[in-house]
């Protein structure tokens, strides 16, 4: 029977996951911004642009997170894992849509304003939910 990892090993593993998640998240955030900002500024209602940009970023993020960020904690990519990942990402998308609606529609700010909380708040929530619920 395998013994539980030491507290130091557990912290090191968590730090590694956080770093990998951050790198994938940075790439996903840049991809999200690259899709969101032009659509929101020139093409459509910014809240709708959030949905499209999130769909693109989530598609890429799922594969990178499941195979690299949380490696060693992946479950079989069954329907339950995919549904849990989708639920977490939907929560993140709804947060970003709310940030966008408040910043752009209510406050009449520029379309880049909601990118600030989308980068500083949403990734930490989705990391925690992915780590402790989806890829545990």
Burial of residue 42 (number of CB atoms within 10 Å: 0-12, 13-18, 19+): exposed
Q: Give percent of the chain above pLDDT 70.
A: 90
Over residues 3-18, the pLDDT tens digits come to 666 777 778 877 887 7
pLDDT at 2 over 60: no
- Stated as kind and residue range, the H or E segment containing 106 is none
**Could you tell me which of 57, 63, 97, 106 has the C-alpha nearest to residue 82?**
63
User: What is the per-residue pLDDT across 18-41, written as a single tens digit (0 to 9) for each?
Assistant: 788 788 888 888 899 999 999 999
Res 96: pLDDT: 94
Model pLDDT, residue 66? 74
| pLDDT mean over 114-136 | 85
pLDDT tier, 112 (very low <50, low <70, confident <90, very high otherwise): very high
**For residue range 50-71, what is the model confidence (pLDDT) as tens digits?**
999 989 998 888 788 777 776 6
3-state secondary structure of 7: helix
Question: Considering the entire predicted model, what is its pTM?
Answer: 0.73
Token pair belonging to 83 = 């549904």
**What percent of the chain is predicted at pLDDT more than 90?**
40
HEC states along 13-63? HHHHHHHHHHHHHHHHHHHHHHHHHHHHHHHCCHHHHHHHHHHHHHHHHHH
Cα separation, 64 vs 28, in Å, equals: 10
């Amino acid at each position: 029977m395998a013994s539980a990892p030491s507290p130091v090993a557990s912290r090191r593993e968590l730090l590694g996951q956080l770093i990998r998640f951050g790198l994938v998240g940075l790439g996903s955030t840049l991809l999200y911004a690259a899709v969101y900002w032009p659509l929101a500024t020139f093409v459509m209602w910014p809240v709708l642009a959030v949905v499209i940009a999130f769909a693109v970023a989530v598609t890429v993020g799922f594969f990178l997170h499941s195979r690299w960020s949380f490696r060693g904690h992946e479950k079989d990519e069954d329907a339950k894992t995919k549904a849990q990942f989708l639920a977490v990402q939907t929560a993140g998308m709804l947060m970003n849509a709310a940030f966008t609606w408040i910043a752009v529609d209510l406050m009449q700010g520029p379309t880049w304003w909601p990118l600030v909380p989308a980068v500083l708040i949403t990734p930490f929530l989705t990391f925690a939910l992915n780590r402790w619920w989806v890829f545990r």
